[in-house]
């Protein structure tokens, strides 16, 4: 079960082995898990259809690997310390044995509601222990979970429920976030008005907000759990059966449902967790992500539990009651491995060192970063003041689609360089391609980051639309998985991620498609047309700049229009996607063939006033002058 590499030399050996004989390499690792039946075929793949299977024919249930398997050896060990939003409120702990019992109870209850293997279940919940139970109960009975971040609007929730044709939604009455309470059941109720596939909702009483319960549809979590047996036979799953769907944004259209399957995802999240964080028995791990994102799936839930780790899960936000909250929690639970996003680091940096130095962070051994490029200044602050210059920073690059960490240092084993994610994990074969699809071998050249060989947790499809999966990830370059990121490799082979090369923007580590935000804006009654671009933002990494075309005769009431456009984005996607800047314009710069010249709009958003490169194809150059003059 211990999959941890112990030295840099061993990493190099393992890496070589994983490239020379990937099947043997991964099969040795997979054998350390609990299978009900062995696989017959370690790997089958082609990147053309694409069709990728790992451990095909193998039968398992992932929850037996992360719960049952641990009962004998660490049943009484804490699986999670739950830290509530309020600093002075009582936290909770749950041991592996208790978690097993709760998961079994909810599994039985869900089966009682008619949920069967293969059915989709939507989870729209806060950061509470019941959410972990809900996720694992789905996996136990073979239902496919689709977690939707509870900051998404009811429209966004409805889209995801409908795309997956979910039968059940698990939610709570409300959630606590800093000094705010949000009644999320209301959002669910609104969404369900247009979700005919949903038969039931299970509601956790979290904020005691006394919501309306629709009879025949809504059931309370605590009531349905009552009297359920604390054991439940785990469904037998094929390695390639769906484990979950997670919606993520792309360049075009609505968010797509990235599909991960049971066997490969299990093997890779466990392996990557143990190696990147160098987590040892007895350590306490804390990943500050939300369960609604892939980071929460892989490194709050699956990776740590598979490894039998003890983790912290936090309900609140980094700045409540003050900007010392993260560090207070690190001290309280003696956190050994801490994993957060650059945006959090940048926002906390601004609050000075007093709120950091008040706390004892000496238990920290490894500190991690994820979600967006980490700038030099934030890296240094994190290394100096949180890691006290003796914890390695693991800058982990990966994606919803990759399921697990792809490029990163391994704890204190690997050399590190600020702002560089570093080396590929064993089994990962990255390449940089030029515009013609040729591999770049020289160092310090920028290229398109692609992966040329499958790893166990690569996405298998996009739910309900395999063609889309093929087009987005496997068609740009034949026989490569295309990440959408640009990167550079230094003379020592370390990778540095530059950022997205497509129309995806990364705001505080959250991914949005510009088209998706434009669609939300275009539902607004004042908006004739719109174009959204990213611009550099000190804290968020990228901010959202929206150019909205409105009828010039209505321009005198700009504030009303801007507020109304903001509202449309909140309703269409969620408050997290609200533009930082909205500029009302009389038209968008287009080519004679009608294509929006986004390059110019990006430059204007960056503050550029005149150097727009070749503008000879521009239909109306005066429009650019107008936009520059009124830019924000
Ligand atoms: C995109 C994936 C899986 C982590 C959470 C985000 C960017 C992610 C890094 C990093 C630079 C990073 C990339 C990637 N990204 N980690 N360490 N350094 N950029 O998952 O929402 O699927 O977004 O986040 O641009 O493509 P996601």
At 243-267, the pLDDT tens digits run 999 999 988 889 999 999 999 999 9
Any atom of ligand 1 within 6 Å of the Cβ of 372: yes
- Of the candidates 350, 436, 353, the residue with the CA atom closest to the CA atom of residue 388: 353
Number of neighbouring beta carbons within 10 Å of residue 28: 12
Q: Looking at the CA of residue 402, tell me the nearest atom of ligand 1.
A: 3
Query: Residues of the chain whose pLDDT is less than 50?
Result: none
Q: Is 212 exposed, middle or buried (0-12, 13-18, 19+ CB in 10 A)?
A: exposed
Nearest CA to ligand 1 atom 8: 371
Residues 6+ apart with CB under 8 A from 402: 451, 455, 457, 458, 459, 483
The pLDDT of residue 347: 95
Give the start-to-end residue ranges of the domains of the chain.
Answer: 10-369+376-393, 508-629
- Gyration radius (Cα) of the chain, Å: 24
Q: What superfamily in CATH does domain 10-369+376-393 come from?
A: ANL, N-terminal domain (3.40.50.12780)
What pLDDT sits at residue 1?
64
User: Was domain 508-629 assigned CATH 3.40.50.300?
Assistant: no
Choice from 371, 417, 576 to test ligand 1 binding pocket (greatest atom count within 8 A of CB): 371
pTM of full prediction above 0.95: yes
Instruction: Say if ligand 1 is within 6 A of residue 120 CB.
Output: no
For residue 342, report the distance from its CA to the centre of ligand 1, in Å. 11
Atom 14 (ligand 1) nearest CA: 399
Q: Is the CB of 185 under 6 A from ligand 1?
A: no
* 506 Cβ inside 6 Å of ligand 1: yes
**Residue 511 beta carbon below 6 angstroms from any ligand 1 atom:** yes
pLDDT tens, position by position, 579-589: 999 999 999 99
Q: Give yes or no for residue 375 CB within 6 A of ligand 1.
A: no
Residue 122 burial by CB count (10 A; 0-12/13-18/19+): exposed, middle or buried?
A: buried
**449: enclosing H helix or E strand:** strand 446-451
**Are the C-beta atoms of 561 and 532 separated by less than 8 Å?**
no
Q: What does the pLDDT look like over 532-545, one tens digit per residue? A: 999 999 999 999 99
Which atom from ligand 1 is nearest to the alpha carbon of 407? 17
Is the minimum distance from the CB of 496 to ligand 1 under 6 angstroms? no
10-369+376-393 and 508-629 agree in CATH topology: no
Handedness of CA 522, 524, 526, 531 (dihedral sign): negative
Packing angle of the helix pair 96-112, 129-141 (nearest 10 deg): 60
The per-residue pLDDT for 555 is: 85
Residue at token pair 């903001």: 566
pLDDT reported for residue 31: 98
The CA distance from 555 to 613, in Å, is 30
The response to whether residue 396 sits with its C-beta less than 6 Å from ligand 1 reads yes
Q: Which residues pair with 146 in a beta bridge?
A: 122, 245
Ligand 1 pocket mutation, candidates 481, 506, 576, 577, criterion most atoms within 8 A of CB = 506
Helix pair 514-522, 558-572: axis angle to 10 deg: 120
The two three-digit tokens of residue 294, written as one number: 């892939």
Ligand 1 binding pocket mutation candidate from 397, 403, 424 (most atoms within 8 A of CB): 397
Taking the CA of residue 504 as reference, the ligand 1 atom at the shortest distance is: 25
Ligand 1 pocket residue status of 298, Cβ below 6 Å: no
């Amino acid at each position: 079960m211990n999959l941890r590499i112990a030295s840099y030399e061993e990493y190099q050996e393992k890496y070589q082995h994983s490239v020379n004989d990937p099947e043997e390499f991964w099969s040795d690792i997979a054998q350390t898990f609990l299978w009900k039946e062995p696989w017959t075929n370690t790997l089958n793949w082609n990147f053309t259809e694409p069709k990728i299977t790992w451990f095909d024919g193998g039968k398992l249930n992932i929850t037996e690997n992360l719960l049952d398997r641990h009962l004998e050896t660490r049943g009484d060990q804490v699986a999670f310390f739950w830290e509530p939003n309020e600093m002075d409120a009582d936290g909770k702990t749950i041991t592996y044995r208790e978690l097993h019992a709760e998961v079994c109870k909810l599994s039985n209850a869900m089966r009682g509601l008619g949920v069967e293997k293969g059915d989709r279940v939507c989870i729209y919940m806060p950061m509470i222990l019941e959410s972990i139970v809900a996720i694992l109960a789905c996996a136990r009975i073979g239902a496919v979970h689709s977690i939707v971040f509870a900051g998404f609007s009811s429209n966004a929730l409805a889209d995801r429920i409908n795309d997956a044709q979910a039968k059940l939604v698990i939610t709570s009455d409300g959630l606590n976030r800093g000094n705010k309470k949000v009644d999320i059941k209301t959002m669910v109720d609104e969404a369900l008005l247009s979700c005919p596939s949903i038969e039931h909702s299970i509601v956790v009483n979290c904020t005691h907000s006394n919501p309306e319960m629709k009879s025949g549809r809504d059931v309370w979590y605590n009531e349905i759990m009552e009297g359920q047996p604390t054991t439940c036979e785990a469904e037998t799953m094929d390695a390639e059966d769906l484990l979950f769907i997670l919606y993520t944004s792309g360049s075009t259209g609505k968010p797509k449902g990235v599909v991960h399957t049971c066997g490969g995802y299990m093997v890779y999240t466990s392996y990557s967790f143990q190696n990147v964080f160098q987590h040892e028995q007895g350590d306490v791990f804390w990943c500050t992500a939300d369960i609604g994102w892939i980071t929460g799936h892989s490194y709050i839930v699956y990776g740590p539990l598979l490894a039998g780790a003890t983790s912290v899960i936090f309900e609140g936000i980094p700045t409540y009651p003050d900007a010392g909250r993260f560090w207070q929690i690190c001290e309280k639970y003696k956190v050994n491995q801490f994993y957060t996003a650059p945006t959090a680091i940048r926002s906390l940096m601004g609050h000075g060192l007093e709120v950091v130095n008040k706390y004892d962070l000496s238990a920290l051994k490894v500190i991690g970063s994820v979600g967006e490029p980490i700038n030099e200044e934030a890296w240094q602050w994190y290394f100096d003041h949180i890691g006290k210059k003796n914890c390695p920073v693991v800058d982990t690059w990966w994606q919803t689609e990759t399921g697990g960490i792809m490029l990163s240092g391994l704890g204190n084993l690997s050399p590190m360089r600020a702002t560089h994610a570093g080396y590929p994990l064993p089994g990962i074969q990255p390449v940089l391609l030029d515009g013609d699809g040729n591999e770049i071998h020289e160092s310090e050249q920028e290229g398109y980051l692609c992966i040329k060989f499958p790893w166990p947790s690569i996405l298998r499809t996009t739910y309900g639309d395999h063609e889309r999966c093929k087009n987005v990830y496997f068609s740009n370059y034949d026989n490569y998985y295309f990440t959408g990121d640009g990167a550079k490799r230094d003379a020592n082979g370390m990778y540095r991620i530059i950022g997205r090369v497509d129309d995806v923007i990364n705001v505080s580590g959250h991914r949005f498609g510009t088209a998706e935000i434009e669609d939300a804006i275009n539902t607004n009654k004042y908006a004739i047309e719109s174009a959204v671009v990213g611009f550099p933002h000190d804290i968020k990494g990228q901010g959202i700049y929206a150019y909205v075309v409105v009828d010039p005769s209505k321009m005198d009431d700009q504030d009303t229009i801007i507020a109304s456009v903001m509202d449309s984005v909140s309703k269409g996607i969620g408050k997290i996607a609200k533009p930082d800047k909205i500029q009302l314009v009389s038209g968008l710069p287009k080519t004679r063939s009608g294509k929006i010249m986004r390059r110019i709009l990006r430059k204007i958003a960056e503050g550029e006033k005149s150097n727009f490169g070749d503008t000879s194809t521009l239909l109306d150059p005066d429009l650019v002058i107008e936009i520059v003059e009124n830019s924000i």
